[in-house]
Amino acid sequence: MMFEFRERKATEAAARLLELGGGRMAYMKLIKLLYMADRQSLVETGFSITGDRMFSMEHGPVLSRLLNWLKREAHPSAAWRGMVSPPVGYDVDLVQPLPAALATLSDYEIDLLATVWSNYGHMDQFQLEKYLHDTLPEWVNPGKSSDPIEVETILRAEGWTDDDIAAWSEELNAASSMSRLLSGSVA
């Protein structure tokens, strides 16, 4: 199951974590924290915050598009460039202070990001890498390559049954069909 990438939420989530970290952070730490927030949201609600694709890479699980944006291997959105600096060495900075009320993040998502920061923000990127390697069953070392992480793998690892996953998938497909119908993209 793939989600639609939510560019604005992804940007605000990254900016929120940067703010919690004092405005500067190693981009590999940021991508790990974003992964943990997306993963936790997925397990608790059936939805990720960012909608980004998850991959196993040599240094742990990542969110694909956001990693490419952080490393500037792909052109980030204007919103991203307005909130997150290009890397200087291996660090990125919060470009401007966040508005008091974030436009797209829900209260749940803001609280979840704060919890992720509280639980893992004290770790550097290398400690996070080791922790994720040792604790996340969905991560498999692909060597110098990358392997997609299927959402269903995470859900099963966290106790969702096949029936739970089937019902969740059916609900997502119905919602997606309804959204396309309402937007006029279904013939």
Count of CB atoms situated within 10 Å of the CB of 77: 14
Per-residue model confidence (pLDDT) at position 187: 47
Rg of the Cα trace of the chain?
17
Per-residue model confidence (pLDDT) at position 104: 87
Q: How many domains does the chain have?
A: 1
Q: Is residue 164 part of a domain?
A: no
Q: Is residue 105 part of a domain?
A: yes
Q: Is residue 2 part of a domain?
A: no
Q: Is residue 106 part of a domain?
A: yes
Q: Is residue 107 part of a domain?
A: yes
Q: Is residue 21 part of a domain?
A: yes
CA separation (Å) from 18 to 31, 85, 93, 96, 170? 11, 11, 7, 11, 36
Strand ranges for 2-48 from DSSP E: 24-26
Range of the domain at 122: 7-159
Per-residue model confidence (pLDDT) at position 176: 63
DSSP class of 106: -
The parts of the chain modelled with pLDDT lower than 50 are 186-187
- Summarised one tens digit per residue, pLDDT across range 65-119 is 999 998 887 788 888 888 999 999 999 999 988 776 668 899 999 999 999 999 9
